[in-house]
């Protein structure tokens, strides 16, 4: 309800109860329902089934994986404790505030999930090392600082949302790549299932915050809109530069850097689309490895639809959940 404590002597604004039967924006209820239906906890994923698979990884691959997950934990921690709460004072509706509390909590669940992976698969000492590494890694710290600068209360509501969407829809993906890579090679498949739940949540978060950004942007004049757009693209360039170096520092050793960068470009474009902007990176640098795409979305193969396939045949969807009281036929 964005009520700030008044200085003594001033009258406090009337506290108002949130009424979900009087909506100003249908999107709030739509997203609330989506997020609550999708609620999960790491205990539902049988991570211990990955113990044998973990043992087959080389020492450097294990270290890489722990570091990548620690980096993701840091971003989730920032979003949980600073990012989502920072958006609340700017909420346009009381329902938006409620949705943001859900987003904040799920980020805590995500951050907590990586620790479940660690306690199931790893030695305490190697995990402690990785947490120390995350505090000392210049690239990880640099991108966190750039985002946190925008979350400062002095920053504009729109700039906070841009930073938030870039964190949710772009910065995570240098990390998400690795479990998808392992999964495509039948390694750590249960861990990958857990990461997919996180990936699904982040898509809803990025979409919703991007949507609220667009609602707020449309109230501004042409010049201000142009200024925000310049800010967004400049921040994307700055973050991309750091992400490139972070990616090289992590993945050069396993020879995956180029592949990861295509994945970064592809996701940077999606982050911009969530804000209502056009893509930045041309399709020629967004050729994500099909094995990674398949690990992300098992039915995303090119032959699934008519225009992408040979054109001689098409797939009518398999048994699908079409039951819905609204269909008349």
Q: Phi, psi (5° rounding) for residue 322?
A: -95, -5
Which residues, 6+ apart, have CB-to-CB distance to 53 below 8 Å? 186, 187, 188, 189
Regarding 290 and contact with another protein (CB under 8 A), the answer is no
Residue 249: Cβ within 10 Å count: 15
Of 253 and 276, CB closest to another protein? 276
Site for another protein (CB under 8 A): which residue of 46, 89, 276, 290? 276
Of 82 and 203, CB closest to another protein? 203
Contact 281, 265 (CB under 8 A): yes
* Greatest Cα-to-Cα distance within the chain, rounded to the nearest angstrom: 77
Residues 160-219 that bind another protein (CB under 8 A): 196, 199-200, 202-203, 207, 210-211, 214-215
Residue 213: Cβ within 10 Å count: 25
Given the rule CB under 8 A, which of 9-17, 91-99, 102-110, 309-317 is the region that contacts another protein?
Answer: 309-317
Task: State the nearest-atom distance from the C-beta of 96 to another protein, in Å.
Answer: 13
Task: State the nearest-atom distance from the C-beta of 296 to another protein, in Å.
Answer: 5
Site for another protein (CB under 8 A): which residue of 142, 146, 148, 273? 273
Count of residues that bind another protein according to CB under 8 A: 52
Of 155 and 214, CB closest to another protein? 214
Site for another protein (CB under 8 A): which residue of 110, 159, 160, 270? 270
- 88 CA to centre of own chain: 18
Is 114 catalytic? The answer is: yes
For helices 222-251 and 157-166, give the axis angle rounded to 10 degrees: 30
Distances (CA, A) of 161 to 105, 193, 213, 232, 283: 18, 28, 6, 10, 26
Distance separating alpha carbons of residues 264 and 125, to the nearest angstrom:
31
Of 51 and 314, CB closest to another protein? 314
Contact 18, 98 (CB under 8 A): yes
Catalytic residues: 114
Give the binding site for another protein (CB under 8 A): 25-27, 30, 33-34, 37-38, 196, 199-200, 202-203, 207, 210-211, 214-215, 269-270, 273-274, 276, 279, 282-283, 286, 293, 296-300, 304-308, 311, 314-318, 320-322, 324, 326-329
């Amino acid at each position: 309800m964005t009520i700030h404590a008044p200085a003594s002597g001033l009258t406090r604004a009337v506290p108002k109860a949130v009424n979900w039967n009087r909506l100003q924006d249908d999107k709030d209820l739509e997203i609330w329902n989506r997020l609550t239906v999708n609620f999960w906890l790491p205990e539902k994923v049988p991570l211990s089934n990955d113990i044998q698979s973990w043992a087959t990884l080389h020492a450097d691959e294990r270290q890489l994986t722990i570091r990548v997950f620690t980096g993701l934990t840091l971003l989730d921690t920032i979003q949980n404790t600073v990012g989502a709460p920072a958006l609340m004072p700017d909420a346009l509706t009381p329902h938006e505030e409620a949705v943001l509390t859900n987003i904040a909590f799920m980020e805590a669940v995500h951050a907590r999930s990586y620790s479940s992976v660690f306690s199931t698969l790893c030695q305490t000492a190697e995990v402690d090392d990785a947490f120390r590494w995350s505090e000392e890694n210049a690239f990880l710290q640099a991108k966190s600082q750039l985002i946190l600068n925008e979350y400062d209360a002095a920053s504009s509501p729109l700039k906070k949302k841009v930073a938030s969407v870039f964190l949710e829809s772009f910065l995570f993906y240098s990390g998400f790549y690795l479990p998808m890579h392992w999964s495509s090679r039948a390694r750590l498949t249960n861990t990958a299932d857990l990461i997919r739940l996180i990936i699904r949540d982040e898509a809803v978060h990025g979409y919703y915050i991007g949507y609220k950004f667009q609602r707020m942007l449309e109230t501004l004049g042409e010049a201000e809109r142009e200024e925000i757009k310049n800010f967004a693209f400049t921040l994307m360039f700055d973050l991309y530069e750091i992400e490139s170096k972070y990616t090289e520092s992590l993945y050069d050793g396993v020879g995956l850097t180029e592949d990861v960068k295509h994945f970064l470009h592809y996701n940077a474009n999606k982050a911009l689309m969530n804000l209502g902007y056009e893509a930045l990176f041309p399709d020629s640098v967004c050729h994500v490895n099909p094995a990674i795409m398949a690990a992300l979305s098992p039915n995303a193969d090119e032959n699934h639809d008519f225009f992408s396939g040979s054109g001689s045949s098409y797939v009518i969807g398999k048994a699908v959940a079409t039951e819905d009281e609204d269909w008349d036929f």
